[in-house]
Structure 1
């Protein structure tokens, strides 16, 4: 039979047989990829897609798919595909089938999905576990993660946040005076704002949540460990597990050393060798799961690494974007300064300290932070692994379809809350940074905030206490559903204190003629070469 089949194949042309071997190899190297691309295009154009399958974004290169189109500017990709295919569509990303579900209802499809249908753990564990460590976050069953989030909330009580405010302010003051050498008599200085905010955010977080010992250990060695550990958060590691890259070897070495560092602190405290305040380590010590199994020292160490890494990225990005916008909008910066004067000003021109309660009574400050989070969501894409087929509601399927789509088990579903937050169908002038939209009690922003975390929002207990579900709000700055961030109040406090100090003491100006572009090639959405000039105010305190 095989000889019959072989004899039916067309003969190799004589001119090909006469080519030297290197030429034949070169011809194959060009011809095989060309043939693969040709067949992939023909397949998409000729073979009809399954009736229940979402439309597939057209792509030329098999396996590689839409990686370049999506990776260069995800939001441009999402909006252009929505215009062509609707709110639900699929694309190929390095061999994986990804289904995107846009809009509030699309976000709810994955972020509000049942644990039997979607899994964050299977989507992210190969990226996060080598960085955070074993047994925590996405390297454990979802029920255990929910209990871990409840443990973390023990270190985020109102009393704890009240004690954190003056520590944050003191760290900010010392950073500008000692590290940046910016005081009332200094000349203006220009910095790459994200670099400096990253340094400041880790200082304020370490002095409060992380603990006094961590703050005292912040030296060049710790900075290198953090840098090497952070190097594990590269998009390539999301798609491929444990590639033999130098960055991954440095990541693994740093993870081990950082774990030992935290376990050393825990041992010293247990032996009474350390004088410490109430921080996250003390809150986690003694915690037990519902089955009676206590957190081990290594569990606590890995949770502390996760807290450090997660909060560092988002707060550094958000504070940087906020300062860049204030440097670009002097009118809003001036109004923010006047708010500080009205709330904290003393008769002699000085300011009193910021308290936790104060940060809840700064409407313009709150509006600036919220508007920044609306325009610059730290994460542009949120993935879930599909565990069982997900029927797509008819409201999300294309109007011309007579049947609903089904997202099959084994695929990935992607939510992009940033699309809803920048959707011109929802927001007026969505590309304009306008904090005043949040001060309109009857506006779209107020309604979005209410549906996300207001008194009328649906409340759910996923295992870490009552929380607003928020999965169908067009504004989801800290995630939604069971994976909503428990550090939301800490982040608002941190951002408010840092920005309060800066706006009291400095005027800001962009260091470039144009507002900085966005860098989408990192895991967190960051400003691309955003510089700001800090000029000390004459009456800086």
Structure 2
């Protein structure tokens, strides 16, 4: 029965794609050519060539096309046009434009099955801004200062199990200790103490349900998406139980979960269980991914560059001597050498390789060599920190780690 259903979904999907292809071909033949100064278009098989290139990896595509087409170019993805703006000269509008001109909501709809309904990219801009305020309040300095003590406890407990010497997989170890600290500081004591293994496995299924094909077809009935949907439902049940338990017992904890439970919209409406769960999932996705990727690359570069590792260790020894082997938020803020090492790792390996917006109005950009291009309304506009952070005209020796 399941196989028959899958075949039906597949057939429907193929029919939709075929219809879009035919419609695109007809519009290409009968529509008059635009008088706008449009960006060059990546060459490829008609209609689906751009899709094939994109699914193989955006960074690979950018490395191949940037030398040929320059800092502004378009790739056709079936019924969509994505225009890339690479480098500071052409990407300023991307980062500065208001939501009414360049919107996030349409292009990040693929996150909705993961985060859930009614949060972040499934709500209009005004509600999304209020939910971002909830994030900001949960991450204020006074909150972060309280989280540091919990982070130190988790780190000391985790690394106390290491011997004096040995070989470890730094990526695995740092990912694991970060998910432990995130569980305690974000998801709450109940998850960390009693449900960590279950919740960790469910988040793993959510994470693996975010594939390149998910960006274009987030509801495609494939195994990874089914596991994602099952995991999302189980997480909703787990957090609903925790939220009810806290409310019934009138308990209050120092974690992000509690912040979201206590948050209220401007009209006085409290957050719902579904919203709290969605906001927590979004927070963990953002925080855990960013932290684990950045920590892994920072550690790898420091181990490769002993001169920077020595400087980091010397800085920490001096601070420990100055503050009596104490670690808190303020002392961490004094670690300038470590900060610069982390920042350089972020430049070379930003967690988000591509950022997207939907253009609601025409705008123009001018390249370094004076070429002007018109970006039409309706295009998806993209930029890539991972690629732009290695441009040789912006950074000297861009591929070198130099904090």
Q: TM-score, normalised by structure 1?
A: 0.65
| Residue 73 of structure 1: how far off its partner (Å) | 5.5
| Residue 107 of structure 1: how far off its partner (Å) | 2.5
Give RMSD over aligned pairs.
2.6
The residue aligned with 1:63 is 47
2:360 aligns with one of 371, 379, 387: 387
The residue aligned with 2:18 is none
Contact 1:67/1:92, CA 8 A, preserved across alignment:
yes
Partner secondary structure for residue 413 of structure 1: strand
Q: What pairs with 1:136-535 in structure 2 (closer than 5 Å)? A: 136-177=119-160, 181-184=161-164, 187-191=165-169, 193-272=170-249, 274=251, 276-345=252-321, 352-388=325-361, 390-393=362-365, 395-396=366-367, 399=370, 404-435=372-403
Seen in structure 2, the aligned counterparts of structure 1 residues 76 and 246 have a Cα distance that, compared at 3 Å, is closer
Q: Which has the higher helix share?
A: 2
Question: d(CA) in 1 for partners of 2:55 and 2:274?
Answer: 36
Partner secondary structure for residue 49 of structure 2: coil
Alignment of 1:100 with 2:76, yes or no, is: no
Partner secondary structure for residue 98 of structure 1: strand
Question: d(CA) in 1 for partners of 2:39 and 2:357?
Answer: 17
Question: d(CA) in 2 for partners of 1:255 and 1:73?
Answer: 27
| Residue 48 of structure 1: how far off its partner (Å) | 8.0
Contact 1:86/1:397, CA 8 A, preserved across alignment:
no
Question: d(CA) in 1 for partners of 2:259 and 2:218?
Answer: 33
| Residue 153 of structure 1: how far off its partner (Å) | 1.9
Question: d(CA) in 1 for partners of 2:82 and 2:347?
Answer: 24
Larger Rg: 1
Contact 1:88/1:397, CA 8 A, preserved across alignment:
no
Contact 2:303/2:309, CA 8 A, preserved across alignment:
yes
Seen in structure 2, the aligned counterparts of structure 1 residues 112 and 425 have a Cα distance that, compared at 3 Å, is same
For structure 1, which runs of at least 5 residues remain unmatched after alignment? Answer: 1-35, 436-541
| Residue 368 of structure 1: how far off its partner (Å) | 0.5
| Residue 190 of structure 1: how far off its partner (Å) | 2.6
| Residue 387 of structure 1: how far off its partner (Å) | 2.4
Contact 2:89/2:368, CA 8 A, preserved across alignment:
no
| Residue 367 of structure 1: how far off its partner (Å) | 0.5
Contact 1:132/1:305, CA 8 A, preserved across alignment:
yes
For structure 2, which runs of at least 5 residues remain unmatched after alignment? Answer: 1-20
Question: d(CA) in 2 for partners of 1:247 and 1:378?
Answer: 22
Aligned length: 376
